Amino acid sequence: MGIVNPAGLKARSYYNHIKIRPGMPVFPTGQVAWDENGEVVGVNNMTQQVEQVYANIDRLLAGLGVTRDSIVKTTTYVTDLALVSEIHPVRERFFSGLELPGSTLFQVAALAEPELMLEIDVVIMMPQ
């Protein structure tokens, strides 16, 4: 277990380059701001959508019987880079006190529904 930030790579306070956890990798479906009925939460509100996405990730983790620390990588897809600053405070709260996972962010033209502003894909290491 541990964190690796190789020399010569740009340091960031909101992710690590490598987070190592033993176990079996699991690649769940990316999470968006849908509630349990498939309705979009927070239409035109990035903060509400990010909060819903992380709540959905918590539900996913609970269903697997693991904790947030099991997440070793996140990939975030956003439709508007100008709103990325609204993601960071929610992400920081979500991972507070934990070793941060590796992280990648992409801008995309669209997601599954026009009202969706972001999707977060996680890689989880399941203990063996």
Architecture per CATH, 2-126: 2-Layer Sandwich (3.30)
DSSP3 helix / strand / coil % (the chain, rounded to 5)? 30, 25, 45
Instruction: Answer yes or no: is pLDDT of 1 > 80.
Output: no
Average pLDDT over residues 120-125: 98
Q: Give 122's DSSP letter.
A: E
Tell me the pLDDT tens digit for each residue of 47-73: 999 999 999 999 999 999 999 999 999
Average pLDDT over residues 21-30: 95
The per-residue pLDDT for 44 is 97
Residue ranges of domains in the chain: 2-126
User: Which amino acid is residue 2, in one-letter code?
Assistant: G
Per the prediction, the chain carries an average pLDDT of 95
The per-residue pLDDT for 4 is 87
